Amino acid sequence: MPMLPALALWILASVVIALALQRAPGIATAETKPQAMPFLGGSEPTTHAWQRYHVRYYPMVLLFIAFEMEMMFMYPWAVVFVEEGAKALTEMGMFLGILSVGIVYGWREGVFRWQ
């Protein structure tokens, strides 16, 4: 056990030296304005990030996620269906029914009509 305090002291000394070298003058360089920009283009953004996408894409994305959730659970369900039988069929029917309500609602609201 006498090695543990020596190891802890060595780690602490290494951290202190690394922090001191990081703060030493002449080692760190100041960022220029293009380097401080949040993206790689180096120019000033002309629009705000929320103005790039029209709001009509968001309901479509939600419906896409609903379709993907259906497909993501269909394969494991097909594997389990062989063993479980009617119980698995009932559970998948309820799951698809709940997701279908969301898809029918989106259809009624006109999400699938592109203008």
The pair of structure tokens assigned to 40 is: 């790689």
Whether 46 shows a pLDDT value over 70: the answer reads: yes
Would you say residue 20 lies in a domain? no
> Mean pLDDT over all residues of the chain?
77
Number of domains forming the structure of the chain: 1
pLDDT of residue 16: 92
pLDDT of residue 86: 87
Placement of tokens 């479509």 in the chain: 60
Given a cut of 90, is residue 27 above it in pLDDT?
no
The answer as to whether 80 is a domain residue is: yes
User: DSSP string covering 7-71, please?
Assistant: HHHHHHHHHHHHHHHHHSTTTS-PPPHHHHSSSTT-S--SS-GGGSS-TTHHHHHHHHHHHHHHH
Instruction: From 40, 38, 60, 59, select the one nearest 49 (Cα to Cα).
Output: 38
Domain that holds residue 74: 54-115
Domain-located, residue 1: no
Q: pLDDT at position 44, please?
A: 67
Per-residue pLDDT of 50-92, as tens digits, reads 666 666 677 778 778 877 877 787 888 888 888 888 888 898 8
